Amino acid sequence: MNKISVGGVIARVYAFTFGEIGTVIGLIWIPTVLSVVGSFLLQRLISGQPLPDPSGAPTLQPVFSLLYIVWSLFLTSMIGAALTRQALGLRKGPAIAHFAAGSEEFRVMGGFAMLYLLLFLFALAAGVAVTLLAGALSVVVPDKAIGQAAMAAVASVGAVVAAGALIFVMVRLSFLMIPSVVGEGGFGLTRSWELTRGNFWRIVGVALGTLLPVVIVLAVVEELILGPDYFALAGQMLQDIQHFPKYAEQMQAIIEHKSPLLLGVALLMAPITNGLFFTPAAFAYQMIGGKRVVASSSVE
């Protein structure tokens, strides 16, 4: 199995994202705007809904949230498929605007849905296994104090191991999922697992080189927008965890007040964040030896 060149992928990602920024904007601006508008409307709809009360009065919050998750997942799949095709060279030429709802986008969406389901089941099984093992150990050890300490230790170590295994599985299944869907069809999960064998730490290196800088920039901007009061409340919440709802409500109020600015920054940064997020897999897919498909030239 071919190995990913960490430096080579990172260089190509930055060259593509900034060198073809106009095309990137053309490919993503419609789904990005729809996603931002959807997020803004969701916040307004949820804030206008009554909170659940002891009488059991129905609320539409879960319905709104579920609809937004599905809508957002579809738009994300559209952006990922479009940028991947461009990065793989399967699409040529500039893009003015792009909106697609074909089988490719729905396969990517289905791949994401299956990935989340598999990760949930994996986490559930790991949690049950760790709990049963810790419980059995506490029963086997005769000394109650020692048994409880052993149970806590096993639970802690088990949680760390399970988290590490979950990350490993997620990276292997997801990293080359979209390029595999675009280049070969199917849902891409098994193909991603096959192609990423022996490349886990290289993928981590690529992620650090491409995503970490933009995450730091966004974190700094978010801190400046939310202001010191928000983070002071977060600190107080950690120190006074029993009054968590009170602090969470105040923090949510700040977020809602600042949401136009936060969404505006997300919109402006979207071409860079999406380019750096989706295209590393495309270039790594080519490097590893994924199937090549005949390119098409078009202007959208």
| Total-model pTM | 0.82
Residue whose tokens read 């170590």 = 157
CA atoms of 131 and 47, how far apart (whole Å): 38
Q: What pLDDT is stored for residue 54 in this prediction?
A: 47
296 falls within a domain: no
8 falls within a domain: no
CA angle, 271 as apex, 268 and 275 as ends, to 5°? 150
Angle between helices 244-288 and 228-239 (to 10 degrees): 110
Range of the domain at 156: 14-51+58-288
Q: What pLDDT is stored for residue 293 in this prediction?
A: 47
At 58, the amino acid letter reads: P
Q: What pLDDT is stored for residue 48 in this prediction?
A: 54
CA angle, 228 as apex, 223 and 230 as ends, to 5°? 80
Q: What pLDDT is stored for residue 1 in this prediction?
A: 63
283 falls within a domain: yes
Start-to-end Cα distance in the chain? 37
Torsion, Cα of 249, 273, 110, 87 (10° steps): 180
Q: What pLDDT is stored for residue 295 in this prediction?
A: 46
CA atoms of 51 and 295, how far apart (whole Å): 52
4 falls within a domain: no
Structural domains counted in the chain: 1
299 falls within a domain: no
180 falls within a domain: yes
127 falls within a domain: yes
- What string of pLDDT tens digits covers the 300 residues of the chain? 688 999 999 999 999 999 999 999 999 999 999 988 887 777 666 665 544 444 555 566 677 778 888 889 999 999 999 999 999 999 888 999 999 889 999 999 999 999 999 999 998 998 888 788 777 766 666 666 666 777 777 778 888 888 999 999 999 999 999 999 998 988 999 999 999 999 999 999 999 999 999 999 998 998 899 888 888 888 888 777 777 777 788 887 888 788 888 888 888 999 999 999 999 999 999 988 765 544 444 556
113 falls within a domain: yes
